[in-house]
Each structure stands twice: as structure tokens, then as C-alpha cells.
Structure 1
């Protein structure tokens, strides 16, 4: 990431109060590691969506705020917010948003060491992304997440098997 370009873009967006500007500022601040500022801007965006009354914008703003919480290491809060987003998106059949939320909630579960829950979310993200014809890079990210977690779960199961269970029958 070009840090200077990101800082310059932040300066351009500093006085703008549109939802798209606040969303971009949140993302840039998060990527720059300025998490307290990112959380503040994410909350500002969330307040704005409450005034505009657009439910989809509100859900997206909550998801961005949850990502900041995840980066802050507040995994319980991030998981709770992302779960609410998943539920809202599923209820309204916003498949793209639900897929994105599932993928990111899976990352929260992964960060928390809950590999089984992460796998469920990553597989759901694959299904949802396939359903709406997501671009190849998003499909690849979800499929890679599934493979990584399945591999880690298999390793962990092998470590718990008795010696006799680890012997391969193939020669």
C-alpha cells in the first residue's frame, strides 16, 4: 500500500461528510492502522445512515465498523455486529452483503481460534458468492479460506489421534 497516497487521499476527504467519503475514510484509516480514528469515522457514517433511513447503507456501515472492531482485537464485539449484519442481509436477501459479512465473520472466528465456526462461515461465503456470480478474486479468497481452515482442522485432529490412528494404510 502506498502510504503517502493514502495520506493524501485522507487529506482530500477530510472535510467531506458524504456517506461514500466517510466509508472511504474508515477503510483508509483502518488500513493505515489508525484504528481509533477509523472507529470514530465509522460511527459517524453509521449515524448518517440512521438519518437517511436507507437500511442497506446502515447494514454496510455496521459491517465497516465491525471490521474496525476486529482490527482493534475486539473480537466479541466484532462477531456480534457481524452476526447482526448477516441476519439483516439474509432477511432482505442482500446476497452480496451477506457473503461479504460471512467471509469477514469467518475471519473473526479464525482470529478467535474458533476454526469450526470459521469454516461454516467461509463455506457459506463460497455458496453465496457462487450464487450471485462473484468475481474470481472473491471466490478465490473464500475458497482459500476454506482450504486453510480445513487443513488446520485436519492437522489438529491428527494431533489428537492415538499413534495407531496416525498410521497410514497406503504403501
Structure 2
């Protein structure tokens, strides 16, 4: 089920229908599997219920550490970092995302590394470090291609690169 309707051009955050997200959250509220916990964290995050999202993200990381695979743990840590980002803890989010991206690349997990780099780019974009954002998005694109991602995932990465370049140019023009 894809609840993402698009991306905000100013923040690159997901645009969702809150009613659909609340409905989905109610459907899975009492399930405890790791994939469902990850989905619940994401739903709480996009609904801007960040205190609940952080608490559940912490629990999800613990569960992944105890009962999941290393890939599961990386996915949980990336999602946890995105909650930190949405809460305004951009430095902590950047650190965690960079660590996750590096670890995933070291293991040869291109898909997870691309996911971490994409979010690292979004975090940099949000704090107006458009050069770092562009570099992270470009790395995500490269890794997505290597992982055989479909065209829609490649398109998302390309649009993010373009957004970072456009914002960087706008800021440069404003300084002149």
C-alpha cells in the first residue's frame, strides 16, 4: 500500500492523505512484527505525531537489535534517524544516516545504502546544505541503479538532485 501522494518541493518530505494514514494505523495498531512496527513508525512520523513516533522507533531499533537481522537493524536505524530529523535534531540524524549508509555500503547492501543516502540528502536539504544534499542524492541514485531499482525510484532520486541544484542556484542568485 503506497500512501505517498508526492513530495513537498520545499522540504522534500512525503505528502500523504492524513485520513488514509490514520485508517492504516488503526488497521495495524496491535500487530507486533518488525515490518509492521516500521510501518507504524513511518505513519506516526508523517502524521506529525513525533513523540509517539520516536518512542516506537526506539522500541523498533531494540527489537531489530535483539531479534532481527543486520539489515533489519539498519532499516530501523534509518527510520529512527528520519524521526529525529522531523523533530529538528538534524545533526544527530545526519550522523546516524551517514553511519547507516556507510555500514550498508560496506556490507554490499546497495538498496539500504541508497535509502540511507536519500534520507541523508533530505536532512542536508532541510538545513540548507544543498551541496551535501546533492552529493547524497547522487550517491543514492548511483546505488539505486546498481541495485536495479525501477524507474519510479530512479525518478525520485533525479528529482531530488534537481531540487537541490535549483535551491543552491536560488541561494547563489540571492547573494549576488
How high is the TM-score relative to the length of structure 1?
0.86
Pairwise CA distance, 1:27: 1.0
Two-structure CA RMSD over aligned residues (Å): 1.6
CA distance in 1, matches of 2:58, 2:66: 13
Residue of structure 2 equivalent to 1:154: 169
Residue of structure 2 equivalent to 1:164: none
Cα distance 1:6–1:145, how it changes in 2: closer, same or farther (>3 A)? closer
Q: Which runs of 5+ in 1 are unaligned?
A: 162-171
Is the counterpart of residue 92 in structure 1 residue 107 in structure 2? yes
Deviation string 1:39-72 (CA, Å, 9 cap, x unpaired) is 1111111110111151110000001111111111
Cα distance 1:12–1:149, how it changes in 2: closer, same or farther (>3 A)? closer
Residue of structure 2 equivalent to 1:61: 76
Q: Which of the numbers 144, 148, 152 marks the counterpart of 2:159?
A: 144
Q: Give the total of aligned pairs.
A: 161
How high is the TM-score relative to the length of structure 2?
0.84
Counterpart mapping for 1:1-171 below 5 A: 1-160=16-175
Ranked by relative contact order (alpha carbons within 8 Å, sequence separation 6 or more), the top structure is: 2
Cα distance 1:2–1:106, how it changes in 2: closer, same or farther (>3 A)? closer
Local SS of the residue matching 1:128: helix
Higher helix share: 1
Cα distance 1:37–1:159, how it changes in 2: closer, same or farther (>3 A)? closer
Q: Which runs of 5+ in 2 are unaligned?
A: 1-15
Pairwise CA distance, 1:159: 4.8
